[in-house]
Amino acid sequence: MTPRKRFLLKNRMLIANMVSNLIGAVGVNNVLLASSRRFTTPLAEEMTPVVEAVFIPAVFAFAFAVTLIYQHPIRRFVDRCDAQDVLPAVPQMIQRRVLNEPFFGVLLDLAIWVFAAIFWAGLYVHWNETPAFIHRAIVTNLSVGLITCTVAFFVLEHVLQKLIVPFFFPTGQLYNVPRTLRISIRVRLAALLFACNLVPFTTLILMLSQIIGVGEDPAMTLDRLGALLMTNALIFIAVGLWLCFLVSSNLAQPMKAIIQALQKVRAGNFDDRVRVTSNDEIGYTGDVINQMTVGLKERENLRLSMLLAREVQQNLLPSAPPQITGLDLSGTSQYCDETGGDYYDFLVLAPESGYRLGVVVGDVAGHGVSSALLMASARAFLRQRASLSGTLTDIVGDVNCQLSRDVAASGQFMTLFALLIDPDRGRIEWVRAGHDPGILYDPAADYFDQLAGAGLPLGVDAAATASVQRREALVDGTIILLGTDGIWETFNPRGEMFGKERVLATIREKAGDSAAAIRDRILASLQDFRGTAALADDVTLVVAKLDSNRRGPGQAPLLECRI
């Protein structure tokens, strides 16, 4: 901070108040007195200039000293800021004094002008002036005091908002400072009304009563009255124009800043901030808008992060099913949030495993980011372990052991259904770890069966083991469906649940179609049933169909895993 900037920061309010009173004492007071002062005693006419030469500097010195005492903590803080490289946090006491200074200055000015009226009245009594002259002196000083205090109020407020507040309130929040006098819009308009209407009206009435009460010649009274009206009219017109400029500036500029900030928010720019310089309703509105833009920016960043997370998670799912001779496959996952905890995968196995394909479907408890992270970890564990030798029980058991270590303190878990298929021999082998049973449909016999089995979800007990179930002699056209509870536990707006019966009916109806057609028909039925109701849980569906007419491309498998 330069010495000039530090000096102005400490003295702007003091200078503004002193200048306002100087204009009132020297300018307005002399103009009014020139049209109304008529000394009746030689002593008063001789001594008044001498006393004024002493009284006015003394009063200004007193006001200067009292203002310095009030500003002492503020000045010390400014000096301390200059001595430090980093601007320290502004204490609340300093902020309170800064915001209350216009009111303190106006009250000090009013007290001084009331004292001046009493002082001059007493002095003129002592000099044996007429009662009319004494009353005129009281009215003149009070009128000038009202004009000066009103002008000083708006000038101090203007200087405070434009030049002082940006330093002491760099982030706004003026409205949150306790025990401050609010310069509200109502107070500002009331002061403007008082300055432009009540003060001129009261002043003219009082001075008119003093002129009429003197008992002078009517012609002289009219001349003095005309001069008085002209003088007061010019003064109050000038003061009114100046005050209207200050008030309009203090109201229009913050509103313009608020409108510009809202326009940028509408355009997607959340970096702009409203410069808050007042503790009235407009300042509070600016603080709220600043808080709103911060929240919107955080939400926008979170939304972009979630979209990226969704893209990453979608890439973890199979982009397309593997092409296996004798087997038709199709799968999909739909998340109710940007990310989810459902998972499915296809594992093309090595020939020595005895099976051609592994299908896994998992469901992490809950949904959202935490479930997506656990799903990604489980996928990595499963793929890594499946690439090593071992039975299906060994693979699921090792993955369960690792997940249990990771989620033991969180209470999370994951259900899993792991299925091995050999379409050439018509046999399957599966492990069910707390997941919904698979659905098997034999179209030749029009028979549905469940692929059940005992087993705890992964992550519940590190020592838990899952039993392997097997089935052979599957006929051509057999359909196997693996899914998550987000399908059959979907509710429509009437509170009805989709259920498994609708899934079974769709499988029977579309048994002669491809796996993809069966999948799409189930999803379409689910969408029609749900209607306008939001998806409450993740939906994952895998359809496998034994089809002897289906031929693979003879290309290398997507992923070979040894088990």
Q: What is the CATH number of the domain that holds 454?
A: 3.60.40.10
Q: Considering the domain boundaries, does residue 300 fall inside one?
A: no
Q: 161 and 74 share a domain?
A: yes
Q: Which domain holds residue 397?
A: 319-561
Residue 120's pLDDT is: 87
C-alpha span between 526 and 531 (Å, rounded): 9
Q: 240 and 368 share a domain?
A: no
C-alpha span between 248 and 226 (Å, rounded): 32
Closest by Cα among 523, 535, 539 to 492: 535
Q: What is the mean pLDDT of residues 144-156?
A: 82
Q: How does 184-214 read in b/e, with b if 16+ C-beta sit within 10 Å?
A: beeebeebbebbbeebbeebbebbeebbeeb
Q: Considering the domain boundaries, does residue 538 fall inside one?
A: yes
Residue 545's pLDDT is: 95
Is it the case that residue 222 has pLDDT exceeding 90?
no
Q: 228 and 368 share a domain?
A: no
Spacing of C-alpha 166 from chain mean position = 21
Residue 451's pLDDT is: 94
Closest by Cα among 518, 496, 498 to 506: 518
Q: 171 and 47 share a domain?
A: yes
Residue 210's pLDDT is: 58
Classified as helix, coil or strand, 1 is coil
- When pLDDT is cut at 50, 70 and 90, the band that residue 356 belongs to is confident
Residue 431's pLDDT is: 94
149-153, 165-169, 330-334 — most confident range: 330-334
Q: Kindly compute the dihedral angle of the four CA atoms of residues 57, 59, 62, 63, in this order, to the nearest 10 degrees.
A: -110
Q: 203 and 325 share a domain?
A: no
Is it the case that residue 555 has pLDDT exceeding 50?
no
Is it the case that residue 461 has pLDDT exceeding 70?
yes
Residue 521's pLDDT is: 95
Q: How does 268-300 read in b/e, with b if 16+ C-beta sit within 10 Å?
A: eebebbbbbbbbbebbbbbbebbeebeeeeeee
Q: Considering the domain boundaries, does residue 99 fall inside one?
A: yes
372-408: per-residue pLDDT in tens?
888 888 889 988 888 888 888 888 999 999 988 888 7
Is it the case that residue 559 has pLDDT exceeding 60?
no
How many other CB atoms are there within 10 angstroms of residue 161's CB atom?
25
224-237: per-residue pLDDT in tens?
667 777 777 777 78
The CA-CA-CA angle for residues 382, 388, 394, to 5°, reads 65
pLDDT above 90 as % of the chain: 28
C-alpha span between 41 and 217 (Å, rounded): 20
Closest by Cα among 29, 46, 28, 40 to 215: 40
Residue 558's pLDDT is: 43
Is it the case that residue 89 has pLDDT exceeding 70?
yes
Is it the case that residue 30 has pLDDT exceeding 70?
no
Domain end, chosen from 193, 222, 251, is at 251
Q: Which tops the pLDDT comparison, 386 or 205?
A: 386
Q: 8 and 152 share a domain?
A: yes
Q: Considering the domain boundaries, does residue 257 fall inside one?
A: no
Q: Considering the domain boundaries, does residue 266 fall inside one?
A: no
Q: 350 and 201 share a domain?
A: no
Q: 242 and 326 share a domain?
A: no
Q: 392 and 505 share a domain?
A: yes
Burial of residue 529 (number of CB atoms within 10 Å: 0-12, 13-18, 19+): middle
Q: 47 and 180 share a domain?
A: yes
Q: Kindly compute the dihedral angle of the four CA atoms of residues 541, 546, 550, 554, in this order, to the nearest 10 degrees.
A: 80
User: Residues 6 or more apart from 268 whose CB is under 8 A from it?
Assistant: 300
Q: Considering the domain boundaries, does residue 463 fall inside one?
A: yes
Q: Considering the domain boundaries, does residue 258 fall inside one?
A: no
C-alpha span between 557 and 347 (Å, rounded): 9
Domain end, chosen from 251, 277, 303, is at 251
320-347: per-residue pLDDT in tens?
898 888 999 999 998 887 777 888 999 8
Q: What is the mean pLDDT of residues 246-267?
A: 83
Pick the range with the lowest mean pLDDT from 29-38, 229-238, 341-350, 456-465: 29-38
**Which residues on adjacent β-strands are paired with residue 469?**
430
- When pLDDT is cut at 50, 70 and 90, the band that residue 64 belongs to is very high
Domain end, chosen from 197, 222, 251, is at 251
How many other CB atoms are there within 10 angstroms of residue 172's CB atom?
24
Burial of residue 160 (number of CB atoms within 10 Å: 0-12, 13-18, 19+): buried
506-545: per-residue pLDDT in tens?
999 999 999 999 999 999 999 999 988 888 888 999 999 9
Is it the case that residue 556 has pLDDT exceeding 50?
no
- Number of domains observed in the structure of the chain: 2
Q: Considering the domain boundaries, does residue 312 fall inside one?
A: no
31-40, 243-252, 467-476 — most confident range: 467-476
Ordered DSSP codes for 208-223 = HHHHHHT---HHHHHH
- When pLDDT is cut at 50, 70 and 90, the band that residue 301 belongs to is confident
Identify whether the C-beta of residue 521 lies closer than 8 Å to the C-beta of residue 503: no
Is it the case that residue 477 has pLDDT exceeding 70?
yes
**Which residues on adjacent β-strands are paired with residue 560?**
348
Q: 231 and 345 share a domain?
A: no
Average pLDDT for the chain: 83
How many other CB atoms are there within 10 angstroms of residue 233's CB atom?
12
Is it the case that residue 442 has pLDDT exceeding 90?
yes
Q: 324 and 212 share a domain?
A: no
How many other CB atoms are there within 10 angstroms of residue 376's CB atom?
18
